[in-house]
Chain A
């Protein structure tokens, strides 16, 4: 029983991390069809933002809250810049976008390496997040609960913004039918930048959160990127609920397979399961039904 609870807690925690990392992707990849391989580097930018803010602000608790905000803006600005300079020019070539943004990611990694050095750096977690909480006999670190709460908050805010705000309505309109949205007087260019800002900002928020549970190195983004992409692929395009369900499903799957085999074998098994899953639902869990082919 303890083992089961422990694995459930691990899965929940892993799922929330995946969710945070994938939430921004599901906006930019899922909704705009743009594959941004530099998304992982935006996560990394969030990590280093937390590191830099902590060097400036001595109190760990205050620095965490500040860096969540600053991280969102830094990541968002980087994303918006990427959209304006490169991605905008290649909306009709999604596969080429993938490679171009991979190049951007390589450069950003090297920039981080040149500024902060290749060895990992650490961010001190605030004291009110040290220790753990006992849930049904299993001890769960408070940092992981914080990440879970943060993920839930991010999803809720994003869902509300998309649902009710004028900006959210514009984003959804462009996603559903770009031409018609433009005809109705919505500037798809401005909307694209907004979407990218939010998506990349969320990546950086995920990065800030990740500093609570591990150290930061220039390649940290890469290790989360593939998993985040798989979450979006399984979740399906264009809807947040798919991303949420897929993130937690993959989190639980990973933690239980890892428990019965090894961490490295679990990755391969999860991959096989995903390929099999795509046999049943090639479009992922949820999809916006259209009449377009394929």
Chain B
């Protein structure tokens, strides 16, 4: 009976979300704001993946900007080539200015839309799987993994800044068309928003299925007691790699949508800071929940667009404080507040422990070796 109710609730939730995203938002918001919301939805797609890997799997993924950037750059390269073909030149405009006459060899395959889409799916997935296998199979975990994922983000950002053939620190920008649709046309911008909204719904549905499957149980088990899972006969490395790869896949799709929606992709979207900032929204919304990361990411991105330009200094302080307060003192995020109130009401005088994510035994200080 409860399962049935749960299923109905889920369907109802998806229905409400779909109505909000596909009917209410386009009707209420101006084209500019709708496009802005589209950008937030891209961040939300990344956040869903982080929620799975970090919240459910206990892997602190500090390098999602890498996969976001890979997706964005691959999409951007295709869009630039398509624009160049439309104008009848052999190379994109920024290369022309730099005096480059022939397309670099690694750009050429991206002239094909099919190859581009396939690469956006495959490249980050393969990188994440290989890196994940390399790291998790050797039982490198906890802080080590976090630092490695962050180092990857730093390395890729530095690499991209140095490559003039992908626009250096400016990145790729000034896209005119998206698979043949002119990006100036508001109708096409709307279409991009709808694609982002649709992808978000699908991504949330996928993660929901993962969370409530046997795999989801195993993932949480690995987070809370990796050694016990190993002793039960499972290989925790495989379980972690799947979550990490799925998160990377989502980030790549989000990046590929971000590039045409916002109109640029640059190293500033890839490095350490943007990669960690992805985590704020997830932490605020509630990292272990399904919808917490989505709402948190949209909320933070919205606040950033409101405040970061008018009050750049204060916004940075606010970001720092959010990290300290939310992660340090409310690790369950906003989603934990509801549970907290419930518990306070139930046990008025018993102390409330607010820790949804007890660190596994092995990661405690003394046993850090």
* A and B found bound together: yes
Interface residues of A (CB under 8 A from B): 29, 32-35, 86, 89-96, 98-100, 102-107, 109-110, 113-114, 177-179, 222, 226, 229-230, 233, 237-238, 262-265, 267-268, 270-271, 274-276, 278-279, 282-283, 287-290, 292-294
A226:B272 contact, CB within 8 angstroms: yes
A233:B155 contact, CB within 8 angstroms: no
Chain B nearest Cβ from A8, distance in angstroms: 24
A294:B320 contact, CB within 8 angstroms: no
B146 within 8 A of A: yes
Chain B nearest Cβ from A31, distance in angstroms: 9
B15 within 8 A of A: no
A233:B147 contact, CB within 8 angstroms: yes
A103:B146 contact, CB within 8 angstroms: no
Residues of the B chain whose Cβ atoms lie less than 8 Å from the Cβ of A177: 366
B328:A86 contact, CB within 8 angstroms: yes
Residues of the A chain whose Cβ atoms lie less than 8 Å from the Cβ of B143: 29, 33, 35, 94-95, 98
A271:B369 contact, CB within 8 angstroms: no
B369:A287 contact, CB within 8 angstroms: yes
Binary contact readout B159-197 vs A (1 if CB under 8 angstroms, 0 otherwise): 101110000000000000000000000000000000000
Residues of the A chain whose Cβ atoms lie less than 8 Å from the Cβ of B368: 33, 94, 237
Binary contact readout B111-146 vs A (1 if CB under 8 angstroms, 0 otherwise): 000000000000000000001001100111111101
Residues of the A chain whose Cβ atoms lie less than 8 Å from the Cβ of B367: 290, 292-294
Chain A nearest Cβ from B268, distance in angstroms: 13
B327:A114 contact, CB within 8 angstroms: no
Q: CA–CA, A270 to B148, complex, Å?
A: 12
B365:A92 contact, CB within 8 angstroms: yes
Residue of A nearest to B231 (CB): A293
- Across the interface, B226 reaches (CB within 8 A) one of A238, A282, A283, A294, namely A294
B276 within 8 A of A: yes
Q: CA–CA, A233 to B156, complex, Å?
A: 19
- Across the interface, A294 reaches (CB within 8 A) one of B62, B141, B152, B316, namely B141
B162:A110 contact, CB within 8 angstroms: no
Q: CA–CA, A32 to B320, complex, Å?
A: 24
Residue of A nearest to B331 (CB): A96
B140:A282 contact, CB within 8 angstroms: yes
B35 within 8 A of A: no
20 contacts between A and B (CB under 8 A): A32-B365, A33-B366, A94-B368, A95-B58, A95-B142, A98-B60, A99-B327, A110-B317, A178-B366, A222-B272, A230-B147, A263-B162, A264-B162, A265-B159, A267-B154, A271-B155, A279-B134, A282-B138, A292-B369, A293-B362
B369:A275 contact, CB within 8 angstroms: no
Residues of the B chain whose Cβ atoms lie less than 8 Å from the Cβ of A106: 316-317, 319-320, 323
- Do A104 and B320 contact each other (CB < 8 Å), given the known contacts A230-B151, A265-B162, A279-B138? yes
B272:A89 contact, CB within 8 angstroms: no
Q: CA–CA, A268 to B162, complex, Å?
A: 12
- Across the interface, A100 reaches (CB within 8 A) one of B150, B159, B327, B365, namely B327
Residue of A nearest to B141 (CB): A294
- Across the interface, A107 reaches (CB within 8 A) one of B320, B328, B366, namely B320
Residues of the B chain whose Cβ atoms lie less than 8 Å from the Cβ of A105: 320
- Do A107 and B316 contact each other (CB < 8 Å), given the known contacts A264-B159, A267-B158? yes
A103:B320 contact, CB within 8 angstroms: yes
Chain A nearest Cβ from B364, distance in angstroms: 6
Residues of the A chain whose Cβ atoms lie less than 8 Å from the Cβ of B279: 99
Chain B nearest Cβ from A54, distance in angstroms: 26
Q: CA–CA, A90 to B162, complex, Å?
A: 39
Q: Which 3 A-B pairs have the closest CB atoms?
A: A103-B323, A264-B162, A107-B320
- Do A278 and B331 contact each other (CB < 8 Å), given the known contacts A29-B143, A267-B154, A267-B158? no
Residues of the A chain whose Cβ atoms lie less than 8 Å from the Cβ of B150: 226, 229
Residues of the A chain whose Cβ atoms lie less than 8 Å from the Cβ of B146: 35, 95, 98
B138:A271 contact, CB within 8 angstroms: no
B363 within 8 A of A: yes
